[in-house]
Structures are given as structure tokens and as C-alpha cells.
Chains A and B, each alone.
Chain A
Amino acid sequence: MSTFSFIETTDWLCAGCNQPLQPTKVQVTYLNSAFDVELMTCPACGFTLVPESLAVGKMLEVEQLLEDK
């Protein structure tokens, strides 16, 4: 399975771990489908950032596609 990358430089830091976010490979899932994606994540606690543009853009698009499968 190919990995889609959504990494972008970000000013957000993980407040709990006081760490800058790092590009990380994570698996997101929806309705019995899984996708490997690269997102910005806290290297210590794993808090994953989903920026607004991704949530209301590509992610929404894929959600709707999967809902009609």
C-alpha cells in the first residue's frame, strides 16, 4: 500500500511533551478501510495533527467515497 504524505511545517508544539511535531507514518481507518499516511505527530506521545485543510478537504472526500462503497 502506498503512503500519502500530508506533512507540512507547522508552528504547533505538543503542549504535554513540549516537543515539535515530526513527520510520522500512521494508519488512519474508516469503515473497514485503512490508509497509510504521513502526518505531523508528537514523537513522544503520538498526538497526531490533522490540519483543517486536510479534514475538510481530502479526508472528507475519502470519507464520502468510502461511505458510498
Chain B
Amino acid sequence: MDQSQLRSLEARCIQEEQPFCTAACPIHVDVRAFMTALAKGDVREARKVLDRTMPFPEILGRICDQPCRPFCKRGEIGDPLAVGRLERFCVDATQAVVKPPRLPAKGGKVAVLGAGLSGMTAALDLSRKGRPATLITGSPAIGGSLHRLADALLPKEVFTEAEATLTGYGVTIRTGSALDRQTVASVLDDFDAVYCDWDDFDAGLLPFAPGTPDPLTLALDRAGCFGGGGLEAGRTFSVMHQVENGRRAALSVERSLQKVSLTAQREKEGACATRMYTVTSYFAPAAEILPADETAGYTAEEAQREAARCIRCECMECVKQCVYLQEYKEYPKTLVRKIYNNQAIVQGTRNANKMINACSLCVQCTVICPHDFPVAEVCRTTRMEMVETGHMPPSPHDFALEDMRFSLSEFCSLSRHQPGTDSSAFLFYPGCQLAGSAPEAVQRTYAFLAAHLHGGVGLMLGCCGIPAHWAGQAALFTETMAAFTAEVARLGNPKVITACSSCLSVFRAFAPELTVTSVWEVLDTLPLPPSQIRPSAPLTIHDPCTTREQPELRAGVRSLCAKLGIEVVEHAFNGEITDCCGYGGLMQFANKGLGKKAATHKAGRSDLDGLAYCAMCRDNLAASGRPVAHLLDYLFAAGDQDPLARANPGFSQRHENRARLKSDLLTHLWQEEAVIRPAHTALRLLISQELEALLTSRLILVEDLQKVIHHAEQTGRYLINPATKRRLAKYRPVRVTYWVEYEPTGEGYLVHNGYSHRMLLPEDAQ
């Protein structure tokens, strides 16, 4: 990712866009922060918000004509907030808190002709910027048409206060000036830049025809002259617009003195559009709090209640649904910046590695995002970059990649035409996880397909390579896909029927030349299997994340359920916005705790028991404590076993199941010799359930223990505790050293403990 890619990605996330009120405000008051403070009862903090943006809060806070109000999202669910009334409450209840800084004087002579609100604003802004202005008015006092407002609305003291503010910042005020064409002409000659406030200055006094001020810069038809702020024909008197004009003019004057572009990058000045996206349906409607005494305005309690109606507009739509973004407390814009910074580190700790590897790559956020922010794609391509540059830590993906290699090894992989045939019209591809989780279901499904489809149904056991794809291991993934497509070609390019939606999505994306479909769509065209059963109560269905873009597959599943008589209850997060179970993107290996959270989150989308049709979803959701069945368990029932009660087999059992499935199929269906497995797999180990859970959490397989014990017993190299007779041995098959504490018994080896490390000891280095 280079900097321009970062910028364009950042721009797609709108979380930091201005809320609707701030965008609509001509001077961009942070109304959201103002409301947040008031809702907490912190009126002083609220005043700070006004002081930071408003030029004369004691005036503007009392008479703001709240142009933001029609844009308030609260209006969709009740009344828009009473912004003006709350500002008035705040200003009445507080003195100024923040005094914006005054920059050192930079030179340049600036005059402001007319001391209405826009002239006052221009003079104040310029003086703060270090361009002390001279404010000239023919009127006896500053304020222009504000003096026409009732005293109750705007007490006269505010003008004294404003005058003090202006002089405090170095503004020279000349009230009651005798202004005629001649004096005005000399002002134009004496000063480098002049702003005319039409509210309090007669354009007829100018020695030139001013023309209409340029809407962007307020420039008049003479260099260095600007004008604005007067009453506008056909429009209500808007004080906020006057202030905006004064502020706009001040910036133009500043730029003209600096001799830089008057027009560059001014799009966000004044009321502007925002790309903010806020969904209001989460909030209960609430009507405006009206003051009990209209003349006195809000009491503190009323103000607090009214401000509390603010829904604090933000987007966060993706974060609301995604446990990953919640876990790392990021939204896409901040996430991608952290990733960019992580990748830029040459020497030092890459703190975001774990975060990059923990995304499930499920794409839910992208579907939810109004601008399709591609979090998954950023994370996955970053992983590829980490692999390519040698910065990918080994531990997050090693286990899953080893598991994949095992599925593809001679002990698990298989590819055959249907017994007794030498060609295949179809090829059943159950996928590595179903083979590991429910090998009997694979056998039954295959037997059924073989009996009902014509033209021969081949069988292929293996792994589609998606773990390598997720891990950013591009070379391994390409190699795996190439081997798969070559093998399908060798079988005569039959139509591939997958039972795993991940395999299906990978084949569709990376082997588009193949004809691929899901087992669900195929089963939907066949008669129901004879051994089907149905659950006694309705089940909620959990779509796997890899079916997000496979509507036909999801429809096939539902059609089958209807035929089976399973009453399916849809929860709100299925289909295109379905969650990941924690396996996707190898999340559960990079961040174990987060993987569990993801499973619990998905299972918790409904209070009902669940129905899954992805082996990983089924096992992860079941492990999270919810009864969840796999659809094949109902289609091809095994005796009176309750599909909802089947436990998560765990990694070791899954591993073993795959090898056993191949042996069973080879010997029973194809009448071939089973593959001879290494001697260590024959060792019988006795492991308590408690220890098994610990080993699973440490990603240690029973086969790893078998390797250690076998090696120890063969070589005699182990430690012994003379008192307990226990043995402690270690073995490093590839990149991990496994330790096992055990003792031989008559029935096998009783295992007491197992742990591992990646660090290399000198004697293992040879």
C-alpha cells in the first residue's frame, strides 16, 4: 500500500465526516460535542465548544437562527433538536471560557467599513490572525442592524462586551465616523485591503461600482476590496450567514495580503454537504422538550433533557456488527492507517501484526458500508505483502497450514472415479472440514449421490487451499489450485459438487473454467434420502460467511429444509450480511479469544437452536455452547442420534477422522489397501478430557504427542522422575518443539501434560 492508496482508502470511510448539523452550520459549530456536554450537565464544557467557533458567543449564542435544524437527524425520529434555544441557555448560564489565541502581528493594513455582525466578525478574525483591523462605522456604535432586536432577546451589554473583545485583540474601532465618497476613497488608498459590510455601510459611498461579490471569495470589482454581510433580497435576515460572510471575507483578505490563491481549497467553507451516514432506526422516537416558561427559556434540567435527545450522528455501521473491529477499537479509516504505519516500520515492533491477521476476511463490513470499504481485501493483501517481505510471523498460520498439508497428504487425500467405473460426470468434493467433522456424513452423502446421479460420481478428498489464500501464502495457494484443477482434468472435467461453501467460493473465483455447484442445489433436485429425520422444534438458520455471494446456494438449502419439514426461522443477520463463525481468515488462530467471541456472536443472533450447513460453522457454534446441527445430519441421519447434541470433535479428532475416512473408503468402497500410516500413529494414548481441552487450546494434536512418545521410546532419550516414574520427552517434527509428560501403562501411554515452544534448543538445531 502506498500513500496514495492509503488516502483513497481513507476517503471511503465516512466515520470522520462532519455530522449533518455541523456541515449545515455556516461556521461549522460542533453541535454534536455541544449536545454531548449539555447532556452530561456540563454547561461550561458546552460553552467551550461555542467559544472555539463562534466569534461573539454572547451575541450569536442568543440569536443563532439555527440553519442546522432542518438537517438534524433527530427530526426523522421525533423533532429536530432545539439548537438555538439550547445555545441561548448555555450563553445565559456561562461566561466566556475559551479565549482563542492572537497570533503575532504580521503587518498589512486592513480596514473594515461597516460594523454590522459580519464586519465585526471580519475584524475579529483578522486581528486574531495577526492582522489588526480598523473597524470604521458611521453609526454611533458597533452592531449594525442588531440594534433593532428587542432588548429581551439581545441585551445591550453584549455590544459593550463585543467591543471589549475586539479591542482586546487589537482592533481599532472608529464609531461615528463622518463617511463620504472622499473619506472612503482615502480609506481605500490608505489600506492594503478593505472589507465592506453592507449591513452598516452604504455601497453608494464607494468610488467604484462594487458589482456583486464573488460568492466564493466575496471579492469586489477592485483588487483588495471585499464585500458582504448585508440583508439579502428575498431571504430572511440570517445572522449566521452574516457571520459566515465576515469569516469568509477575513480569509480572503488574509490570502490577498499573503498574495496566495484566493480560491484554492475553500469547498468546505460555509454550509456544505456531508457524506455522513447515520441510521436512525436504532433510536426510539422522542419529541422536543419545550421550556415550561417560554420567555425564561430552558431550566438546566430541561436543557439537559433536550440535549440528551441528540443521537450523536456517526456511521459505525460496520463496527456495530463486527466483533473484529470492536475488539481492536477501530473503524476502517483508523484501521487502514494503522496497517499502513505497521508496514512502514523498518526497525522496531510491528504492533499491528496480530490485528492484520485477526480479520476473518468475511466481507460483511464491505457489504454494510455505504462506500464498500474493502477491509478484508486490505488485510489479505497486507498479509501477502508480509509473506513476500519475510515479515509474516509464523505462529498465527502455522497450525492451519500444517492441517491443510495433512489434508492434502497421502494419508487423507483421495481421488477416484465411482467404484466399477472409469469416468465421472460428477465429482463429489466434501472439503477438508466436513471430512474432519462428520466423516460418516461424507460417506452417506457420497453413497446417495452415487446411487442417484447418472454418468458416474467420482470422489475427491483434499483441501481447496483457502487457508493458504487467507494466510497470504500466494505461492502455496496457486500450487494447490493448480494441483486441484489438474486432477479434475485428469478425471475428465466432471461437474464438481462441493459440500463446503468456502471450497465453492474458491473454485468459482480461481478456477472459473470448472463447472462447480453445491451439494445443496444438487440434493434439492433429487428425492429425499430415506433416512431423513426432522428436529422437534423450529431452528434458526446460520448462513456461512462464504455464501455471502451465493444466493442460489442459500436458496437450495432453504428449499431442502422446506422439503424435509424443518421449520426454519430467519434471523436478521443472514444472507449478504451474515457473520463469520471465527474460522474465516484464520481468525481463531491469530486471536483465539476473538475467534470464540465471533462464534458466540454468530450463535447469539437468535435464541433458537441453530442449523448450519458449513462444517466449521457447525463445530464452532456448537463449541460456543449453543445446540447447532448440520443439515446433513438431518438428511442422512445416523440412528437415533440427536444432530443438535453432536459435540465439536476438536482438532485432533478432525485430523484423525480425515485419515480414517480415506482408509475406510479405500478398503470398503474401492477394495484397495489402506495407506500405511507412520508407526507413531499406532500408539495408544490415554488423555483426560481436561487435558485434551488444554492441548486443543495450545494447538497440540494427539498425533504430535504420539510423535514425541514414539521418538522417546525408540531412542531412549527422555527425562525420568525416579519417584513418580513419569517420563518427560520432547520432539521437534518441523518448526515446533513438543514436550510430553507421560507414563507407560498396560493399556497404553497415560499422558499427564503437553506443551510446546518454537524457540530452538542447540541439540535440536542439528
Contacts and interface: CB of A to CB of B under 8 A. Distances in A.
Q: Do A and B bind each other?
A: yes
Interface of A: 11-16, 21, 26-31, 45-50, 52, 55-56, 59-60, 62-65, 67-69
Contacts of A67: 353, 393-395
A52 B353 CA distance: 26
Given A63-B395, A68-B350, A55 B757 contact: yes
Interface residues of B, number: 36
Nearest to B716: A16
B690 interface: no
B718 A63 contact: no
A55 B728 contact: no
A63 B719 contact: no
A13 B722 contact: yes
A47 B717 contact: yes
Nearest to B395: A67
B639 interface: no
A63 to B, nearest CB: 5
B717 A45 contact: yes
Interface of B: 348-351, 353-354, 393-395, 698, 715-724, 727-728, 730, 737, 739, 753, 755-763, 765
Contacts of A63: 395, 757-759
A68 B720 contact: no
Contact of A30 (B350, B728, B758): B758
A26 B761 contact: yes
Given A30-B759, A48-B763, A14 B395 contact: no
Contacts of B718: 15-16
A28 B760 contact: yes
A46 B719 CA distance: 12
A29 B728 contact: no
A15 B730 CA distance: 13
A12 B728 contact: yes
28 contacts: A11-B721, A12-B720, A12-B728, A14-B720, A15-B716, A15-B720, A16-B718, A21-B719, A26-B761, A26-B762, A28-B761, A28-B762, A29-B759, A29-B765, A31-B394, A45-B717, A48-B762, A49-B728, A50-B739, A52-B739, A52-B753, A55-B739, A55-B756, A59-B757, A59-B759, A60-B757, A68-B350, A68-B354
A12 B728 CA distance: 8
Contacts of B727: 15
B763 A46 contact: yes
Given A67-B353, A67-B395, A50 B719 contact: no
Given A68-B351, A69-B349, A62 B720 contact: no
Given A12-B728, A68-B351, A68-B393, 4 more contacts: A27-B762, A28-B759, A56-B755, A59-B757
Contact of B760 (A14, A29, A62): A29
Contacts of B739: 50, 52, 55
Pairs A-B, 10 closest by C-beta atoms: A67-B393, A12-B719, A15-B720, A55-B757, A30-B759, A52-B755, A68-B350, A28-B759, A29-B760, A55-B755
Contacts of B354: 68
Contacts of B351: 68
A52 B737 CA distance: 12
A42 to B, nearest CB: 8
